[in-house]
Structure 1
Amino acid sequence: MNKSSWTVMRQRDFGLMWWGGLISLMGTRMLQVALPITVLELTGSPTAMAAIVAASVVPQLVLGPLVGVLVDRWDRKRVLIIANIGQAAALLPLLAVHHARDLWICAAVTLLSASIAPFVSTAENALLPRLVGDEQLPTANSLNALNNNLARLIGPLAGGGATLLFGLMGVAIADAVTFLAAALLIALVRGRHRAEAAAAAEAAGEVPPGFVRKFAREFAEGIKVIVASRTLLIIFLMFAVMSVGEGIMGSLFAVWVTDVLHGEAPELSWLIAAQAVGGIAGGLVGGRFASRWSPRLLLGVGMLLFGAIDLAIFTYPLLWVNVAPGIVGMILVGIPGVIASAGAMTLFQRSTDDAYRGRAFAAVGTVMAASMLLGTGVAVLLTGPLPIVAVLSIQGITPMLAGLGALLLLKRTETDVTEEAEVSTEPEGSAEPAPAPA
């Protein structure tokens, strides 16, 4: 971790939010191993797994616009506290899952949890620029990606073992505890964190119109901000394309492990954790890339590499059925994934004003949910007629299309030109990483 990363991590409020996110994400990642394995063990049906994935994305599609309006109206710190507590309570019905006929409980819990989760992600993304300076945003986003991948490493390993030892019940209890711990840490963040426009309106004593009229007006304001920004529109399109592949992967990854690699819960957890190892490496060096590359280059180059490696991962079993190459590929793909994520988040945060940031992030979540739902449908329709490997290959193609879109459609900046000039004048054999050409 470089100096700029340590500087950001030492900021108290950012650190509290970072640790809270890490702890709750570890619990979530544990459940993401336990739940699909349990569903497949109880039902043996890929369609049942697709139903769980659909239940996880429908709430974002339906509630996304409302979430954005409310996060821009409410104190974002308070939203995070209440939502984390709600997530903990939502998991309790999983304690009653024992038979195939209990699949509806898994779907209902997934639906409820997914209805609360957008409040957490939207409030966190909207709050982050208030906790660090603008010049520190790329590094902070890189550290958040490191956070996600640490959870992806620790959570699945713990989840795989806990599923074998304690079953879904034990994992659900552990996940609930992590959400409560996160709520406590967020409560220690200093100050109130309402959007300036909402706070100013309250201070001025403005009388709001009826709820429906006010919601419609505020939602329309957020859409206008997005439509007026070429950068935001391009990022929206990119997220939509990538999320189709994510929906396919979410539906079929566990099936790929069990049917193509002939693995079980341990192999699934190893593969998920392996990507986290690469993500951790990417997070540790991400601050270095973030300080040298523009967000456009981070996003474009990162997505191209991410897609190419994903494509190799899902197709190599055609030549050799062994989990080892998959583990290596998952490690490699984590690095460009972190770099691309830091670029996307920085572009988005810089392109939105604080007053509209919650609505903008919620709109992205809605677009992604719709695309993931489409991807889930594609997975269900194509899994029979086509081999699983062929269907999962779409997950490799979509990030590559998004990466090309970032490089070709997003505006070149002076930072791009400066960085490329610096690279071209570096002495041969320099240890500094050279950015890819724009």
Structure 2
Amino acid sequence: MSGLRMLYLLMGVEGLSLLGTRMTSMSIGIWLYHSTHQTTPILWISLFNELPAMLAGSLAGIWVDRLPKRVVLLLSDAGQAVGSLLLMCSFWMGFFSLPLLYVVVFSQGICAMFQAPASQTVTAMLASEEKRDRVNGIKEMVFPLAGIIAPACVSLLYHPLGITGIALVDACTFVASAVFLLSVRLPDESRKELNEVQAAGALRDVFEGIVFLFRHRLIGLVVYTGVITFLLNGTLDMVVPYVSGSSGNIGWGVSFVLACMNAGAFAGALIVALISGFRSRITTLMTGYLLTGLMFIAFVSATGPIWLGVTLFVLMIPLPATNALLNSHFQSIVPPALQGRVFAFLYQIHLASAVVSFAVMGPLVDRILQPAAEEGAHSWLFRYFSDQRVAGIAVLLIAAGIVIIAVTITGMLLRRRMKS
């Protein structure tokens, strides 16, 4: 089996696992909301799932670099399958509880913490330089595609199967991935015999990857993309309350704009997959972020679900494309022996930025911007928005777009200056 064919098959089974995971997450979210009528327990699922990589992602990168990647992926799939089966049994046998749910998703987050950098390293191993942009573009198509398919599957399966049946389907997808990994052999990467790891050695290995980023002037790119991640994540979560709170919105508006978001993300990944080789990945990446910043402003200026959906579609196109190009850039520059640590550190920075964004953006709107709009304070800031019920969110969206544009233009100028 050729390396590229093996990689595409691996991406297929990983996509199947992702679909199962999103189905389980959605079904549990539905059950929790109808049981508790609260959103906090649902948000905590994502928090506990992302917490391991945010706290210890760089340490996981050490083991990803030392162990055979097939072993890392196998153990990750096995751990997540056990978690899904445990949730299934808890619902079936009646001992489900929120603490158990958080323990399970935290454990699955630990598995995912190892899986993500290992998957990126395998891509670098199996895809040649000229094929890498296309492969990463196809990988970026998997997440929005799962976002489109999962709701339809849940709507069909939730009532006849319940959470237990969907969790069993989820576990089966992980088992399918594990069976595939057992049947193949990945190219042998440089290995080291595993000795007992001491704390000092672990820290030294972590810093080895970070030092590489500094020496090759990549740390600025990590910081820049981390800032963009902060500006995007919490802000994009404001889309649903903005649309649903806008005057004149009709019932299908939220569903339509969410479909447009997923479709835009899918289209962006498809563009990278079709174009493949880019002459300047970083220039293309920054240009994409400029478009996203402009579309935040256009989104607030749009009226009605149709135009809101169109602007969101365009806004989302650059995001998977920039992720694919960023991954290709690091895969091309970072030596295979360091890729686990470098990608784990990159994910750790981005996850930390996302978590801080989720923690900051909501209170910023709820406690500062929206009360100011309703009380008439700083009227010069809010008078341009006809619907004061979402004026606070509108200010945040426009501010995020302006800052994204400003940061990106600054980055472009600094990059040009460094080259000259």
TM-score (norm 2): 0.79
Q: How many residues align?
A: 392
Letter in 1 for 2:110: S
Q: Return the alpha-carbon distance in structure 2 between the equivalents of residues 163 and 396 of structure 1.
A: 38
Alignment check: 8 A CA contact 1:77 1:193 kept:
no
Alignment check: 8 A CA contact 1:72 1:355 kept:
yes
Q: Return the alpha-carbon distance in structure 2 between the equivalents of residues 365 and 407 of structure 1.
A: 23
Pair 1:134-2:142 in alignment: no
Report what 1:217 is aligned to.
204
SS of corresponding position for 1:190: coil
Selected match of 2:227 from 236, 241, 254: 241
Alignment check: 8 A CA contact 2:131 2:277 kept:
no
Report what 2:385 is aligned to.
none
Pair 1:63-2:39 in alignment: no
Selected match of 2:361 from 376, 379, 385: 379
Note the 1:165-180 alignment, pairs <5 A: 166-180=161-175
User: Deviation per CA, 1:198-249, whole angstroms, max 9, x where unpaired?
Assistant: x2x44xxxx846532331221121121122221x212211232133245425
Report what 2:330 is aligned to.
348
Note the 1:263-278 alignment, pairs <5 A: 271-278=257-264
Alignment check: 8 A CA contact 2:125 2:187 kept:
no
Q: CA deviation at 1:355?
A: 0.9
User: Deviation per CA, 1:88-145, whole angstroms, max 9, x where unpaired?
Assistant: 211234444699x944344333322222112111100111111011222112211212
Q: CA deviation at 1:176?
A: 2.1
Pair 1:29-2:22 in alignment: yes
Return 343-352 or 391-400, whichever deviates more: 391-400
TM-score (norm 1): 0.76
Q: CA deviation at 1:332?
A: 2.9
Aligned pair in 2 of structure 1 residues 252, 228: CA closer, same or farther (>3 Å)?
Answer: same
The answer for unaligned runs of 5 or more in structure 2 is 371-389
Return 130-139 or 379-388, whichever deviates more: 379-388
Aligned pair in 2 of structure 1 residues 281, 248: CA closer, same or farther (>3 Å)?
Answer: closer
Q: CA deviation at 1:183?
A: 2.1
Report what 2:345 is aligned to.
363
SS of corresponding position for 2:317: helix
Task: Give the share of equivalent positions with the same residue, in percent.
Answer: 24
Aligned pair in 2 of structure 1 residues 57, 390: CA closer, same or farther (>3 Å)?
Answer: farther
Aligned pair in 2 of structure 1 residues 209, 104: CA closer, same or farther (>3 Å)?
Answer: closer
Return 19-28 or 397-406, whichever deviates more: 397-406
Q: Return the alpha-carbon distance in structure 2 between the equivalents of residues 269 and 179 of structure 1.
A: 29
RMSD: 3.6
Selected match of 1:113 from 101, 108, 126: 108
Alignment check: 8 A CA contact 1:234 1:410 kept:
no
Alignment check: 8 A CA contact 1:36 1:254 kept:
no
Q: CA deviation at 1:392?
A: 6.1
Alignment check: 8 A CA contact 1:66 1:215 kept:
yes
Q: CA deviation at 1:58?
A: 1.5
SS of corresponding position for 1:384: helix
Report what 2:118 is aligned to.
123
Q: Return the alpha-carbon distance in structure 1 between the equivalents of residues 171 and 240 of structure 2.
A: 23
Q: CA deviation at 1:391?
A: 7.7
Q: CA deviation at 1:19?
A: 1.0
Pair 1:404-2:399 in alignment: no
Letter in 2 for 1:404: I
Q: CA deviation at 1:374?
A: 1.0
Alignment check: 8 A CA contact 1:304 1:403 kept:
yes
Alignment check: 8 A CA contact 1:159 1:269 kept:
no
Aligned pair in 2 of structure 1 residues 214, 284: CA closer, same or farther (>3 Å)?
Answer: same
Alignment check: 8 A CA contact 1:382 1:391 kept:
no
Aligned pair in 2 of structure 1 residues 11, 21: CA closer, same or farther (>3 Å)?
Answer: same
Q: Return the alpha-carbon distance in structure 1 between the equivalents of residues 197 and 75 of structure 2.
A: 25
The answer for unaligned runs of 5 or more in structure 1 is 1-8, 415-438
Aligned pair in 2 of structure 1 residues 88, 78: CA closer, same or farther (>3 Å)?
Answer: same
Note the 1:289-438 alignment, pairs <5 A: 289-313=275-299, 315=300, 319-320=303-304, 322=305, 324-385=306-367, 386-387=369-370, 389-390=393-394, 393=397, 396=401, 399-400=404-405, 403-404=408-409, 407-410=412-415
Report what 1:5 is aligned to.
none
